[in-house]
Structure 1
């Protein structure tokens, strides 16, 4: 008999599953790269991943639990295996992710959740550092702020010039004149403010039309004061875009910084620029070399 495919999650073959009446209530519901997330019944969540950074979730959760009233997961246990695998066991926040229920929510409920989320985020606005860093002097991780490589740590940084020097590594193909024009538009990063940096709709838990939890703090840290508003403009799909447009209405306005970042992110593709990148060149009175 030909060998059967073994499930990578439960290690059982199809035949073994068919021959057993047991129906497990331990389910994997998310997996990407080297990580997975399991529901253990209805009350616990188990995260499994490598020990490679960014892996600061438990550190950040404990930090925020002491300093804010933000509804965050409660840690039950964490441990590391000899093979370099890390586990984090937390209490499950009861409710539904915003991504699950967005199409069925009323406009009033959507507005209420956005306002409640912003009110909690305002507690983060009071948490400052003298450097842009993750807790304990660890580097920052963001593929959107530093798009020159995924999973690479950056910083800490103590000034706008240090931040720009790192960001501009993604613009190595861009002529210096264009880079200088963009640098002049970069708003000051101070005060360096604790930032979630991924308020996507899958990280917002809602119950009965109210916010009850904010998840996924593993990459949070002290970023430029404008970064929460700016990255809340990065929509991952139409519904997430709608959610973040609503959320930004209730956050401190950093539209100037968001426009700066949008131009920066567009220029990283130079010379294969999209409409945004070409528009920036035109606004500076510049043109592509072959158009001069």
Structure 2
């Protein structure tokens, strides 16, 4: 599982004055085929599991791999059009079919390179006041996302749910609320049947879906020179119950002070968090049941 893997990165990939393959070139003049080649030859900003992010130029990066879905593009476009949340701008996106990939495709997204420091690399060196201001910014992002409700659950534009509270193999796609609710209740019953969840945990009743990043952590935040944070890597995002954001933060094993600071500033859903914790066995050990 990716949780136990360490990401790979090239030191030169974050150099402000480095030399990159598309420096001075018009992106529109580069074919999709050429871009796929650059995913394996350009300086690596981040590589973990089957997903790679490379530096294409002074201002552009590209994310690619078998888990890169069009839903991430749709979410970034939606966030940019309906919120003030700082996210990378998308310049180009496409998919190619590959029989060797789990979902049968490999996706590619060309977007802004966000200059600054990854928050996981500088958080511990920041003053408590600065940490507090950053936590407040993140809480504002979450509250802004949760002000936008959608009727259909899951990734924006459809597709499988590839996120923390599903399974390593994804789940769905779910065509409506009832089908997603049934999936969660099935996992809850599995967990109860083998005494991995308390018998008195009530069944899920999903009534509200909001925009959710679903994986907010210092690893997914860039701190720029003005102490503004940018939220990146929207792979797990979609329309999910509001509890998903707080529940994901509450179980993250790293940067607990960051997690607690943000959690203190956003709404909590204790009963729903207990429900999500109760399906852990059904969504991990019994993922295929």
TM-score by length of 1: 0.71
Task: Give the match for residue 150 of structure 1.
Answer: 169
CA distance in 1, matches of 2:171, 2:150: 21
Is 1:124–1:195's contact at 8 Å kept on the other side of the alignment? Answer: yes
Does 2:212 correspond to 1:192? no
Q: Extract unaligned runs of 5+ from structure 1.
A: 1-8, 11-22, 272-292
RMSD: 3.2
CA distance in 2, matches of 1:200, 1:192: 21
Task: Give the match for residue 203 of structure 1.
Answer: 220
Q: What whole-Å deviation, never above 9, does each CA across 1:42-89 have from its counterpart, x for those lacking one?
A: 422111213x56442211111111111110101122234465543211
Task: Give the match for residue 5 of structure 1.
Answer: none
1:257 to 272, 276, 282: 272
**Cα distance, 1:97 vs structure 2:** 1.3
CA distance in 2, matches of 1:61, 1:198: 15
CA distance in 1, matches of 2:257, 2:185: 28
Task: Give the match for residue 103 of structure 1.
Answer: 124
Q: Alpha carbons of 1:166 and 1:189: their partners in 2 closer, same or farther (altered >3 Å)?
A: closer
1:163 to 173, 181, 186: 181
Task: Give the ranges of 4+ consecutive aligned residues of structure 1 lying more than 6 Å apart after TM superposition.
Answer: 176-180, 267-271
Task: Give the match for residue 285 of structure 1.
Answer: none
CA distance in 1, matches of 2:207, 2:43: 43
Is 2:196–2:278's contact at 8 Å kept on the other side of the alignment? Answer: no
Which structure has the bigger radius of gyration? 1
Does 2:47 correspond to 1:31? yes
1:63 to 78, 97, 100: 78
**Cα distance, 1:140 vs structure 2:** 2.4
Q: Extract unaligned runs of 5+ from structure 2.
A: 1-8, 11-17, 21-41, 99-104
Q: What whole-Å deviation, never above 9, does each CA across 1:158-194 have from its counterpart, x for those lacking one?
A: 24x85154453375364289868344165x4322111
CA distance in 2, matches of 1:270, 1:212: 36
SS at match of 1:242: helix
**Cα distance, 1:223 vs structure 2:** 0.6
TM-score by length of 2: 0.72
Alignment coverage as a number of residue pairs: 244
